[in-house]
Structures are given as structure tokens and as C-alpha cells.
Structure 1
Amino acid sequence: MIQYALKCSNGHTFDSWFQSAAAYDKLASSGMVTCAVCGCDKVEKAIMTPRVRPARKAEAQMPAQKPEANTIDMAAPSPDVEKVIAELRRKVEENSDYVGKDFANEARKIHLGDAPERAIYGEAKPEEAKALIEDGVPVAPLPFIPSRKSN
């Protein structure tokens, strides 16, 4: 696995993991790598510092570094990250309506005043999300995949 720092043509920066450098190249050339913020498919590698592990001997001689207080490493799954995401999911599901794959249409209706104003969540294709953002509709990606509710 390899982690790349990426940047979209709109200036958003984010990190993503890939199976290999070749896997990234294949996905990027086919337009499958999209911005985590706006869904733009014009993404390129950003300048990043390499993470090189020290040799075992050097590692044994290095003092252990303590993480800063109140920080969570989002790249490494941990109980803290999972707990934060689970709490966010709970709050979103309790305080908003799930509209499924009709999210883009419903968000646009609410924005235009054709539907009652309320908090919603659902699913949208990257191009739909990009169109909403370009039209000034306030939307944000969620760090989890919504549970599909069935009737």
C-alpha cells in the first residue's frame, strides 16, 4: 500500500491510499480518482515528504515520540477515529432525513425553495455533487457510507 498526497484542480488537498504506484496511475488515467472534497476528477499528486522507516538499529536508539494532545491520526484506523465517526453518523441519522440516491435533486429543491427546508443526507455521483457546489448549494461529503434504509 502507498499513501499519496493529492490535489484537485480546485485547490483542495487530501490523502488517499492505493495498492501500488501502478494502481494509482491506472485509476488516475481512467478518471477514477476524484477529489474527496468536491468530487472533481482532475486530480494530481501533490508535493509530499517521503515516510521512510529507520533501520531497526536506528529505531531502537531513537526515543519514542509522543503524539500531540488532542490529535487524531486519521490515516491510521484507531478506536478514537472509529468512535468519532460513529458519533457523527449517529448525529446525522438522528437529525436529518435520508433521501438516498435522490440527494442531488432534493438538495436542489430545498435550495430553490421548492421543498421544505430540512437537513438531508444521501448519495450523489461526483458530477452531481460538483454541479450542486457550482450552483451554490451547500453540500459536504460524509466520512461514511450511509446505511440504506428500506421500507
Structure 2
Amino acid sequence: MIRFSLHCDQAHEFEIWFGSNADFDGQKKRGLVSCPVCGSSQIEKSLMAPAVARSDKDRSMPVAPIASDVPAAPVAMDPARAEMMAAIRDMVRQVRSSAEDVGDRFPTEARKIHYGEAKERGIIGKANPEEARKLLEEGIGVLPLPNLPEDMN
């Protein structure tokens, strides 16, 4: 396992574990990697210092543990960030509980509602970035819900 320090286009920083560099690249290409704070899929790796194991007997400097030897621990958040994440979680729960989940039919249903072909109501579902861009170009307001860390477990 490899831990990547990542950041989104909104300057949110976070870490995610991947099986390999290729796993990260493949998931990013398929749009599966997103910011846990804002949901952006514009993710890049942050500069990291490599963990290098030493072969000499002098262990005065600590050696980074091998990822498979250490269980993943949550990253501590400062109180302001924790409060912000709690507010985001509450907002996402409210949206999800008050909207109809139309799944992959989201672009079609959003158009039907916008053009008066279906009853006006709150909906949530899935749309790829291209579909979302087309909806916005048609004047149909859509916003992504952030993927929270617990959604990814």
C-alpha cells in the first residue's frame, strides 16, 4: 500500500492509500478519486518526502514503517476543520434525506424537471463530468455532493 498526499483544485489537502501508483492513476482517470471536502475530481499529488529504509545499524533517525505493518489511522483534524466537516456531513444528510435518488437517470430526470415534463422535486443521482457540463450549458443547475471519507469505506 502507498499513502499519497493529494490536493484538489480548491487547495484542500488530504491523504488516501492506494495499492500502487497505477491504482491511483487508474482510479483518477475513471473519476473515482475526489476531494472529501468539496467533492472536486480535479486531484493532483502533493510533493512528499520519500520514506527510505536504512540498512546501517545506527537507528538514531526513525525509519518510516512499512504500510502493511501499520494499520491506517485517521488523520487528526484541527477543531475548525472538524467543525466544517461536521457541517458538510449534516448538509449532505439533509440533501440525501429530502431528495429522490434517481441513480443513473439523473441527467434525464433533471432535464424532464427543467423543461416541465416531470413534477418539480429535489433529486440526486449520478452524472459523469461531461453530462454535468451539458446540463449546466442548458441552464439546468446541478451541484456535486461531496464524497465523504465514510462513503469510501
Q: Normalised by the size of structure 1, how large is the TM-score? A: 0.51
Runs of 4+ in 1 over 4 A off after TM superposition: 11-16
Cα RMSD after superposing both structures: 4.2
Change (3 A) 1:33 1:144: closer
Distance 1:109 1:132 in 2: 11
Which of 134, 139, 146 in structure 2 is aligned with 1:143? 146
Using the aligned pairs only, state the percent identity: 28
- Structure with the greater relative contact order (CA < 8 A, sep ≥ 6): 1 or 2? 2
- 1:33-87 C-alpha deviation (Å, 9 max, x unpaired): 4674576xxx6736x342678x549xxxxxxxx954322299xxxxx76x963x4
Q: Normalised by the size of structure 2, how large is the TM-score? A: 0.51
| Counterpart in the other structure of 2:22 | 22
| Counterpart in the other structure of 2:79 | 69
For structure 2, list consecutive stretches of 5 or more residues without a partner in the other structure.
Answer: 52-60, 64-75, 149-153
| Counterpart in the other structure of 2:117 | 114
Q: Is the contact between residue 110 and residue 140 of structure 2 (CA under 8 Å) also seen in structure 1?
A: yes
Distance 2:140 2:40 in 1: 12
Change (3 A) 1:51 1:119: farther
| Counterpart in the other structure of 1:3 | 4
For structure 1, list consecutive stretches of 5 or more residues without a partner in the other structure.
Answer: 58-65, 75-79, 146-151
